Amino acid sequence: MLAIVSSAALQGIHAVPVLVEVNSGESGDPRLILVGLPDAAVKESDDRVFSALANSGYRKPQTRTTINLAPGDLRKEGPMYDLPIALGILQATGQLSGERRLDAFLIAGELSLSGATRPIRGGLAFAMQARSAGKRGVLLPMASAREASLVDEIEVYGVESLAQAAGFIEGKTDLPNLAGTNAFENAKETSDDGLDFSDVKGQTAVKRAVEIAVSGRHNLLMIGPPGSGKSMIAKRIPGIMPEPSLDEFLEILQIESAAGSTRRERIQRRRPYRAPHHTISDVGLLGGGSIPGPGEISLAHNGVLFMDELPEFKRSALEVMRQPLEDANVTISRSAGKVTLPCNFMLVSAMNPCPCGYLGSQQKECSCSPHQIHRYRQRVSGPLLDRIDIHIEAPALTISQLRDASAGESSASIRQRVEAARARQRKRFAGTTIRSNADMSHRSIRQHCQISPDLGDLLQQAMERLGLSARAYDRILKVSRTIADLAESETIQSSHLLEAIQYRSLDRLGSA
């Protein structure tokens, strides 16, 4: 008897349809044959499935059974096919029949030897695939079904065991439809984690630069000695970012789901913050693997990627980031296929002014030679610096600043100004794919960043003196537009342009 169960395979962050075809009752030795380009984890599913069947009160096939995962030219990986294979075997052997059609649902899930289900990667992507394929709904492990419930227009059911899934298909078990439970509206931001800008002592100029960077989603580089508060400030940046929209939130969850790092306990409506160590590999940063998956830059999509000690990252890893920073996506090609992953993140980076970290410090003398300083700064290439809109120096704190007991401005207060600036940008770019000033194209810059002839001459002088590139020219105008938004100005004024120019610290240092 032939049974066909609909499932899916992950390609990047998207799901593609896979049919699990089970044919039982064939003549020959009683054994199971699994075909369809499975990896090792899929090949091991027969042992898990047979144990789950036995421990759930069902019998395993007594004849030769062939299982085909179609299409045959698509690589299948992971244990997500355990549940559809088990249900297919039950139907093919006449142990499963009921009022609900098996092929009306997209089914995926890992099984334990006891028959209990375990969560899988890609629950959200599977729900989206089921909707586009016209399926009635999805049948997933409970933890994976919670994230899938964010997708509307389909039914979402979570199961705790194989027996429960079989009972649901037969109509003997009723399960709540998790879809339409307003998961997005009920999702709350992270509880107070104690990270607030009011804790940051001094660094008024740095906090101003951070506010501008977040308001326009500009990339930021902080340069200062150890202990100046660079990492402390970076950790507090998500707290002043606007709440993600529904579309942004679904994109964030889809990437996390594909990477297997979904917040399964409670869906939290917040932006991601990723801080990879400088020893990370190129694949860990950009994504990849035998079957390409998301890396740190994609996991930071619609959020913050913090790269501390920027010059300590491998040169190859830094250089391959140039294209993703420009295009907001990364394309990865492997023998198993090619995928394009989104990575529209805000880059926040930090570095010391020299190898020892104390160049220009009033508290400690720098021990680095000019050659060492030059070689250290050259680890971050000019083309990469061009893609960082704001460079800001974070000086060492004085003892009096550290002793100051007064609280600084809170994150909530800063966030109000950021949201007001973002609101002006949403109004400006309504009807386009542009979400913030940093996303403006050359045509948009000409339209929304017009400056007077006098300001044009001023910018030309700065460009010539600092030896800036055309890309840096565009980024100065984008930052100027954001500063004008924060000042509630319809046009870019001289003070806005001058402040944007001064945020090219490394360019000024390099021209000195």
pTM of the model: 0.85
- Write down which residue in 183, 209, 234 finishes a domain: 183
> So what's the pLDDT on residue 266?
53
Residue 279, pLDDT > 50, answer yes
Q: Where are the alpha helices (DSSP H) in 314-441?
A: 315-319, 322-327, 370-377, 382-386, 399-403, 411-428
pLDDT digits (tens, 9 = 90+) for 365-419: 889 999 999 899 889 988 888 889 999 999 888 777 777 767 788 999 999 999 9
Is residue 316 helix, strand or coil?
A: helix
Amino acid 320: pLDDT: 87
Q: Is 252 contained in some domain?
A: yes
Within a domain: residue 476?
no
Q: List the alpha helices (DSSP H) in 378-493.
A: 382-386, 399-403, 411-428, 442-448, 453-466, 470-486
Rounded to whole angstroms, the Cα distance separating 120 from 382 reads 42
Within-domain flag for 168: yes
Question: Residue 377: which domain range?
Answer: 197-431
Handedness of CA 92, 97, 101, 106 (dihedral sign): negative
Check whether residue 155 and residue 249 sit in a common domain.
no
DSSP count for the chain of H helices, then E strands: 23, 18
- Whether 175 and 99 share a structural domain: yes
Q: Using an 8 Å Cβ cutoff, are 67 and 20 in contact?
A: yes
Query: What would the pLDDT profile of 425-467 be if each residue is shown by its tens digit?
Result: 999 999 898 989 999 998 999 999 999 999 999 999 988 888 8
Question: Residue 191: its pLDDT value, please?
Answer: 46
Q: Is residue 451 part of a domain?
A: no
Average pLDDT estimate for 261-280: 77
- C-alpha 360/C-alpha 121 separation (Å) is 49
Q: Are 283 and 377 found together in one domain? A: yes
User: 277: domain CATH number?
Assistant: 3.40.50.300
Q: What is the mean pLDDT of residues 7-13?
A: 89
Of the candidates 225, 198, 114, which has an alpha carbon nearest to the alpha carbon of residue 161? 114
Averaged pLDDT for residues 238-258: 88
Judgement on whether residues 22 and 168 belong to the same structural domain of the protein: yes
- Residue 95, domain member (yes or no): yes
Give the domain-ending residue among 431, 456, 483: 431
Q: Give the chain's domain count.
A: 2
Question: Looking at the structure, do residues 130 and 269 belong to the same domain, yes or no?
Answer: no
**Burial zone of 432 (CB within 10 Å; 0-12 exposed, 13-18 middle, 19+ buried):** exposed
Q: Does the residue 203 lie in any domain?
A: yes
Whether 220 contacts 345, CB under 8 Å:
no
Is the same domain home to 168 and 201? no
Helix axes of 470-486 and 411-428: crossing angle, nearest 10 degrees:
110
| 163 and 263 share one domain | no
Q: What is the 3-state secondary structure (H, E, C) of 1-23?
A: CEEEEEEEEEECCEEEEEEEEEE
Task: Give me the phi and psi of 238, to 5 degrees please.
Answer: -55, -25
| Residue 232, burial from CB neighbour count under 10 angstroms (0-12, 13-18, 19+) | middle
Residues 129 and 17 in one domain: yes
In whole angstroms, give the CA distance from residue 400 to residue 403: 5
User: Does residue 205 share a domain with residue 174?
Assistant: no
Is pLDDT above 50 for 512?
Answer: no
Q: Answer yes or no: are the C-beta atoms of 200 and 371 closer than 8 Å.
A: no
For the chain, give the mean pLDDT.
88
Domain contains 368: yes
User: 405 and 300, same structural domain?
Assistant: yes
pLDDT band at 103 (very low <50, low <70, confident <90, very high): confident
Find where tokens 């044959």 sit. Answer: 33
- State the Rg of the chain over Cα: 27
Given 396, 431, 466, the domain boundary residue is 431
3-state SS class at 181: coil
Which CATH number covers residue 50? 3.30.230.10
Are residue 298 and residue 376 in the same domain, yes or no? yes
Q: pLDDT tier at 62 (50, 70, 90 boundaries)?
A: confident
Three-state secondary-structure class, residue 87: helix
250 and 293 share a domain? yes
> Measuring CA to CA, which residue among 181, 110, 135 is closest to residue 5?
135
Distance CA 437, CA 482 (A): 7
Is residue 449 assigned to a domain?
Answer: no
